[in-house]
Structure 1
Amino acid sequence: MFNSAKDEFWNTFTDFSSEDSSQGSPSPLSSTLSLISLVPDFANPLPTSMDSVTIDSLRINGVLSLPSESLQRALLQSFVECVQPAMPILEWQNFLNSIYGRGNGHGSISLLLFHAVMFSATTFVDLRHLHAAGYSNRREAHESFFQKAKLLYQANYEQDTLTIVQAMLLLTYRVDAKDGDDSSHWIGVAISMATSIGLLQDPAGTRNFDHSAKLWKRVAWACYTTDCLISLRLRCRPNIHGMGFSHQILTEDDFEFYSLPSENQIISPNCSIAYNTNAQKELAHIYIANTRLCICISEVLDFRGKVNHIYASTGSPIQRNNRDNTDKATRVSISEYKLADWADSLPPSCHAPSPDSSNADDPTIAVQRSLLHLQFYTTIAILHQLQPFPSSKFCVQHAASQITLIASELHIKKLHDRLSITGVTAILVALIIHMSQLKASPSPKRNQAIENFQSCLEVMGSLRDVYWEAESVTEWASKAIM
């Protein structure tokens, strides 16, 4: 299904306008160097089926070279602290050890996966590291690493389908794309690949034993949760909903807890997550809670999609009959009950953050716990938006207030730049709700809405360097209240 896209893509990067390349003859470089020597020491070699024109294209576009060691270290630490906890799809300890022990053997890491890891981390790494490496801004670095991963994918470098799924999940961090290759595109590719190997079904009798059962199950759930959270942002039905996803819920036993050896200096000692197994267990509990929440999110988005379809066909909610309203009320009540049950059953490590307790938290734990509850309150707000029930207005406003409180606390602690795009979605939802209250008559509630709106706008404005979507939202919101 991707052949035509591949042809067009490669025409762009392989037109060297030379007689030799047009005849397909190998270049001097590709004919004298082995496939193994072309890639970094820790990486899998290029496949023998790859032609010389493709190899030269990869080399010319910098795909076969590595960033500076200092930038690698910074990006890998950002990955461990900000990406892996929210998307635990790597056996990251083995991944880091393989990079550190580069001379100990070939074929241990996919270069596609490596560049995808680097790409995802550019969202969160301190901008100073990118400037030091010669990038003028975050967008430039983001796009550079994205294109390297995309080139390898289009070149059919990687032969292992699970590894491709892992890389595609990481490419969903591309949320600002005028060419259409955004998060919704890459989650579609990931799900398509996952379906082809039976990854979404219970692994009994079907699992590829080249990978551990724990990794297989975590990657499957990452497909599910990523699909749900992208759909939450775009207000659409998840792709996986109704596809027969049959994995049991994750447990602590599905994760590996491992302290990185002290001699592995690729990660700074100040990255406590890499060395603290108790902190790793807390992050696992948060992610497990996230998978359970995404089950609720999937049902809410499916219900919302059906309601929108009915509204579109009838022209107005008023035209719906009493039975439709009764069914709708029942679905809302069921969703409310499931969300309340989710909140009530959270273990202590996943309880909503508070200004007092979060001071003692590891920053990574504080951010992931906050994101969990930002997603919860976003779901509450979306469930009750446009609902005619007496409690709906209160639920929406309460959700917006809680989103504002959580985001403001992260901003005060200077952790807001670790928020994923889901956090931006939550703040946008709160902004819109607060804005709707600004037209009310002067009152204490209106004054609180103004204060909350300004708080959300401040946090959103501080995320403009990380997410370009935040920049457009900030400009829109600022003009809307002028």
Structure 2
Amino acid sequence: MRSVFRARKERSWRASRACQTCRYRKVRCDAQRGAFLIPPRQICDELIDSYFAWIHPVVPIINQTHFRRQYRDPLAPPSMLLLQSIFLASTHVCDNMTLRDADGSTKTMALTFYKRAKAFYDANHETDRVAIIQSMILIGWYWGGREDVLEETFDWTRAAIIVAQGTGMHRSVARSLLSTTDKRLWKRIWWTLFTRDRLLALTLGRPMLINLADSDVEMIRDEDFNEDEPGRASKVPPNPAHVQFFLRYVALCEILGEILSRQCSMWAQTRFKELDMDDVLFHESALARWHGECPAIVSLDSPERDHFWAAVLHSKYYTTLCLLHRSRLSAVRDQFPAALVPSRRAAVEAAAMITGIIQGFSTHGQLRRCPSFIIYSLLTAFVIHRYQDLFISSTSPQAVHSKPRDYWSALLEISRTWPLGGLVNSMLRSVAESWESGKRVSHSNTPLLSFVGDMMGAEPHDERHVQDGLAAAAAAAIDTVEANRQYPDLPPLLIGREVSDWLQFFGVDH
């Protein structure tokens, strides 16, 4: 028996040794391809500073104090996988012009850092599971390479959630043997994954992966951003605006998840043929309460606010408000009831606030610093304003008409950072031109269907024509991109599928 056990142990050791050898050879190959290359020190410093200034507040998954200490220590440097992932995320917001192409975009450098980070990930170079989760979240920040757009965001985030749950981050660690610093970091990572899960479910129309009923992690609090260690105070105190932004962001995503589950899911559509107005009013009250509880530093109504982060937070709030009231309007199939007029007005006002926020970003040159969710917010405002132009303006002389060129200029500016903005720009231009070219027909008593039919050139009350119109709009968007050659690395099939996903989630696939 001892000899058998010894033989098995030796075979296991040899297999492990062979695996390590293969991994070493793989890393050597990656080194030859440039995975270990990093920019000059000055550019690295700028990338890291930009990351903690503009990315970290939205995804506070890294202990800044510990990371900066490692970054300055040549004998104990940070994880290369994590470092390349940080460079990838911060490329979008860094001011250094050497990172930009001739047209001002960061597409080339973002793709370069993406390939380097992915090479480390594929080689299993990193063994720290926390660093792997952090890196996957940041790799999922990347949009607009040669791979599938959805794969680069949804799949990386989904993988990060699975690894985090396998590590036990969905369970409370309050009584564990982890240090206080690690406990706080785990909570921040988990609630970051929660916010990413909810926003990707909204923007891409995918199922939510995190069920809070399966988790007992305590709600994140101010103290979880304290990075002091026993006997060593942190040299990087938490920014109050960043802390309050994320706390309110998590609270908003909780409400968003309830709205998606109760009103926008397939379960809700099959279970309830008509919207439960009590449920809608409940979520409306929750959003009003959320807005009233915002601290002054992230409140749009306060002179003490942090202008940028208050605006980013409220762009998400007004987008959620549009989603809530749009679900009420899209449920209308007959004569428009007077009871829904307040909901219609609320949707239009929320869209106007989104437009104003985006115009403010554009005026101050901050659109490129915004997270990619700003594209969805802008698309939401466009749809609501088109609805306003087609339906409300005929009954309300005071209706304010939006200017399509405001959307085009904003999307073009965003596309230099997020190539997906160029895709949406082409799609909306095609839809608007179709609507303006004389194909528009008089609207009927079904606001949403006639709205879609008018924009797509379809006849009212015929669902097949609406579907044909959607296909035509998608094809026109593809033709526009192919003709202009603005985004040659996005294959036509991807464009068509992505256009279909966006339109479908906006409730225009009836």
Q: Above 0.5 in TM-score? A: yes
Equivalent residue, structure 1, for 2:299: 351
Deviation digits for residues 293-341 of structure 1 (CA, Å, limit 9, x no counterpart): 11111111112333x4554x59xx8xx3xxx54xx21221221121111
Superposed, which structure 2 residues align to 1:245-260 within 5 Å? 245-256=215-226
Q: What is the one-letter code of the residue matched to 2:290? A: W
Equivalent residue, structure 1, for 2:92: 123
Structure 2 CA distance for aligned equivalents of residues 335 and 454 of structure 1: 33
Name the count of aligned residue pairs.
Answer: 397
Equivalent residue, structure 2, for 1:448: 400
Q: What is the one-letter code of the residue matched to 1:220? A: W
1:423 aligns with 2:374: yes
Structure 2 CA distance for aligned equivalents of residues 276 and 152 of structure 1: 29
CA shift for structure 1 position 153: 1.1
Partners of 1:374 and 1:423 within 8 A in 2: yes
- The verdict on how the C-alpha distance between 1:253 and 1:150 changes in structure 2, with shifts beyond 3 A counting, is same
- The verdict on how the C-alpha distance between 1:398 and 1:169 changes in structure 2, with shifts beyond 3 A counting, is same
Superposed, which structure 2 residues align to 1:355-394 within 5 Å? 357=303, 365-387=306-328, 388=332, 389-394=340-345
Question: Structure 2: 5+ residue runs without aligned partners?
Answer: 1-18, 229-233, 333-339, 434-510
Equivalent residue, structure 1, for 2:429: 478
Equivalent residue, structure 1, for 2:158: 188
Equivalent residue, structure 2, for 1:219: 189
Structure 2 CA distance for aligned equivalents of residues 296 and 177 of structure 1: 32
1:411 aligns with 2:379: no
- The verdict on how the C-alpha distance between 1:250 and 1:461 changes in structure 2, with shifts beyond 3 A counting, is same
Question: Structure 1: 5+ residue runs without aligned partners?
Answer: 1-46, 259-273
Partners of 1:74 and 1:129 within 8 A in 2: no
- The verdict on how the C-alpha distance between 1:178 and 1:59 changes in structure 2, with shifts beyond 3 A counting, is closer
- The verdict on how the C-alpha distance between 1:446 and 1:91 changes in structure 2, with shifts beyond 3 A counting, is same
Partners of 1:127 and 1:137 within 8 A in 2: no
Superposed, which structure 2 residues align to 1:269-288 within 5 Å? 277=237, 280-288=239-247
Structure 2 CA distance for aligned equivalents of residues 349 and 210 of structure 1: 27
Among 335, 340, 349, the residue aligned to 1:398: 349
Partners of 2:203 and 2:373 within 8 A in 1: yes
Q: What is the one-letter code of the residue matched to 1:392? A: S
The alignment's TM-score, normalised by the length of structure 1, stands at 0.75
Structure 1 CA distance for aligned equivalents of residues 283 and 178 of structure 2: 36
Structure 1 CA distance for aligned equivalents of residues 321 and 395 of structure 2: 25
- The verdict on how the C-alpha distance between 1:113 and 1:445 changes in structure 2, with shifts beyond 3 A counting, is farther
1:336 aligns with 2:336: no
Equivalent residue, structure 2, for 1:150: 118
Superposed, which structure 2 residues align to 1:167-178 within 5 Å? 167-177=135-145
Question: Which structure carries more helix by proportion?
Answer: 2
Structure 2 CA distance for aligned equivalents of residues 285 and 310 of structure 1: 33
Partners of 2:264 and 2:327 within 8 A in 1: no
Percentage identity across paired residues of the two chains = 19
CA shift for structure 1 position 423: 1.4
Partners of 1:168 and 1:189 within 8 A in 2: yes
Structure 2 CA distance for aligned equivalents of residues 348 and 246 of structure 1: 30
Query: What secondary structure sits across from 1:481 in the alignment?
Result: helix
The alignment's TM-score, normalised by the length of structure 2, stands at 0.71
